Amino acid sequence: MSAESTIPQAETKEFQAEVKKMLDIVIHSLYTEKEIFLRELISNSADALEKFRHQQLLEQEVFDSHVPLEITIDCDEKNHTITITDTGIGMDRGELEANLGTIAHSGSKTFFSQLSEGDQKNVHLIGQFGVGFYAAFMVADTVRVTSRSFRQDDMGHEWVSDGAGTYTITMCPGIRRGTSITLELKEDAHHFANESTLTRIIKQYSSFVPFPIKVKGEAVNTVQALWTRSKSEIKNEEYTEFYKYVANAFDEPLAHLHFTADAPLAIKALLFVPQENVESMGFGRLEPGVNLYCQRVLIEQHAKTILPEWLRFVKGVIDSEDLPLNISRQALQDSALVMKINKVVTTRFLKFLDELSRSEPEQYGKFWQAFGVFLKEGAISDFGHRAEVAKLLRFESSTTEPGAVTSLKEYVERMAVGQKEIYYINGGSREAIEAGPYVEAFKKRGIEVLYTLEAIDDFALNHVGEFDGKKLVSADRGDIDLPETAKGTEAEQEAAAALPDKEAEELVTWMQGVLGERVKEVKESKRLSGSPAMIVNPDGFLTSSMERVMRASGQNVPDFGKKVLEINTSHPLLKGLNNLRTTDELLAKSVVEQIFDNAMIQAGLMVEPRIMVERTYKILARLVGNDA
């Protein structure tokens, strides 16, 4: 008894909740650009054909091996139906249920369950994601899918739904391999059941499908692999159209790279950078976007290992004749050849970005804004490409205009003779950094400081380590050696205003006693001028911002309890404190604790708000003369 015979002939099931939501959006909100339904369905058919072509290379026995690989489209103007048929891989009962009744990709799932009312009408936004098969319900009241898998033991099924919450699956023996989708068109979509309309839409959206698409028996596309043609023959519009096809996009690409290499490996690649970073828009983690081909046969769609994971925003095609055609997915994962292709293409792509930054700085600026975060991820995770990525990093700095960015190379070019290190400091905003204590000493000496405004930045720079032989150093490090400031300057006046050495030493020791275990050390600062105190990191490896991120993500971090508190003994607060400790030690101790907490806050580190607020009230009560 086969497993099939124990399953009822016809079965009606509920769609998964997220599918219902998606269908609701598709049916009620996506009014414009209805014609994309055809692109979505053809694209699924093309995928199914590519998968079949690859299976055929791997499996001995496939069902209906002789039928040509193609997509046929028929329409019936009288009965208002369109049928899209492919001879692809097909789906068995379980696959029909899983593929057409649920949304598998977790990012899409979250996206559709969280989509706001306003966003629901944003076709562009939803298009980024692709409603795929469900686009059929934009134009159809009823969608009928008959499918038979390539596996010998399948028997064929029909899946029917009106998109209202359920679907029914019935056995359907005697059909050919592949999938056939019949749309019973809604009244306002009747006009689509017309040969010339269908032909126009196919030419517009699906001209790059690598299989013949026939409308009423006539092929309407020219099957071509754009990436195998010579660059000089290809028009910009063709690149754009191909991008739309391969990336399932609606807009133009931000940039593209088309290259051919013969040695050491035969590679043809056509890579695109999209306009927008959908990952940062809350769409969940991107799937890789590059398809791997061998001699124009798709080996793996959205290939996982052909580019490093941090380049997952790149879309396009990589084709290498050197790959064996019958390589399995599994073998791809750990193929040394794939790793080599990966290396060659990644290096070439990074070089392309570097060139772009010089030839079209404005485009590169847009790229950096949208995708810089991926390069930072690369700097952290990809040792092999770290140096190339470092050239592409951009940051604001004390020298740039607000909002403008600079490269490490430009920073080095601006460095004064004798400066050996590149400095950076993290903060929530440019304003916060400039108002904080860390940049004071640098500003005074005319030394540029890069502003790292994102949490990931310090990790990236920390991993990069050095650039052009210059160490990258966070300005919140305790052991920075800055040159003396010129004589007769403000600094000298400040030094003169500072507490005498002996008193300063006593104050430091006393403060150290008050703070006890909370600090590694209190010391007199050589750097501060406007601010009374600051926290610096003695260990030289982690910056305060890195510590904050690690703590927030619950990572096991080494003992960070011990910070160094640097104090500015020429600041009136510290001078006053030095007097107060002899007249009212209790209050003076509270002031020390408050100075410490303030410095921690300026370093972006956590303090216990309850204790701090209570303490502040006590100090304030003293101030207003009513501390009973």
Residues that bind ligand ADP (CB under 6 A): 44-45, 48, 86, 88-91, 99-100, 130, 132-134, 179
Minimum CB distance to ligand ADP smaller for 88 or for 253: 88
Distance CA 621, CA 628 (A): 8
Residue whose CB is less far from ligand ADP, 16 or 594? 16
86 or 154: whose CB is closer to ligand ADP?
Answer: 86
- Least distance from C-beta 23 to ligand ADP, angstroms? 11
| Shortest Å distance, C-beta 320 to ligand ADP | 25
CB of 13 to ligand ADP, least distance (A): 16
Residue 42 CB, shortest distance to ligand ADP, in Å, is: 9
* d(C-alpha 457, C-alpha 42), whole Å: 42
Element (H, E) at 260: strand 255-261
Nearer to ligand ADP, 100 or 591 (CB): 100
Backbone angles phi, psi at 41, to 5 degrees: -70, -40
Q: Which is nearer to ligand ADP, 131 or 600 (CB)?
A: 131
What Å distances lie between residue 186 and 18, 79, 81, 173, 197, CA to CA?
23, 11, 9, 29, 16
Nearer to ligand ADP, 166 or 228 (CB): 166
Of 213, 192, 201, nearest to 46 by C-alpha is 213
SS3 390: helix
Separation CA 302–CA 291 (nearest Å): 5
Q: How far apart are CA 352 and CA 117, in angstroms?
A: 40
Tell me phi and psi for residue 213, to 5 degrees: -110, 120
* Both structure tokens of 377: 């991820």
Q: Shortest Cβ distance from residue 108 to ligand ADP (Å)?
A: 8
**Euclidean distance between CA atoms 115 and 95, whole angstroms:** 27
Q: State how far the Cα of 242 lies from the Cα of 337, in Å rounded to an integer.
A: 27
Using the minimum distance from each CB to ligand ADP, give the nearer residue, 134 or 243.
Answer: 134
Least distance between ligand ADP and beta carbon 552 (Å):
34
Would you say 133 or 250 has its CB closer to ligand ADP? 133
**Which residue has 């590059």 as its token pair?**
290
Tell me the C-alpha distance between 208 and 223, whole Å: 7
Strand ordering across the sheet containing 394-397: 406-407, 394-397, 449-452, 421-426, 470-474, 466-467
Of the pair 105, 443, the CB lying nearest ligand ADP is at 105
Q: Provide the minimum distance between the beta carbon of 324 and ligand ADP in the complex, in angstroms, as a whole number.
A: 25
Find the shortest distance in angstroms from Cβ 91 to ligand ADP.
5
State the amino acid at position 93 in one-letter form.
R
**Dihedral-angle region of residue 241 (phi above 0 means left; psi in -120 to 50 means alpha; beta otherwise):** alpha
Measured from the Cβ of residue 570, the count of other Cβ atoms closer than 10 Å reads: 21
Question: From the CB of 100, what's the least distance to ligand ADP, in Å?
Answer: 6
Nearer to ligand ADP, 186 or 302 (CB): 302
Measure CA 373 to chain center.
Answer: 7
- Computed over its alpha carbons, how large is the radius of gyration of the chain? 32
Nearer to ligand ADP, 44 or 161 (CB): 44
* Tokens, residue 391: 């050239």
Task: Write b or e for each residue in 284-313: b if 16 or more Cβ atoms lie within 10 A of its Cβ, otherwise e.
Answer: bebebbbbbbbeebbbbbebbbbbbebbbb
Q: Considering the complex, what minimum distance in angstroms separates the CB of residue 527 from ligand ADP? A: 56
Rounded least distance, CB 81 to ligand ADP, Å: 17
Q: Using CB positions, name the residue nearest to ligand ADP.
A: 132
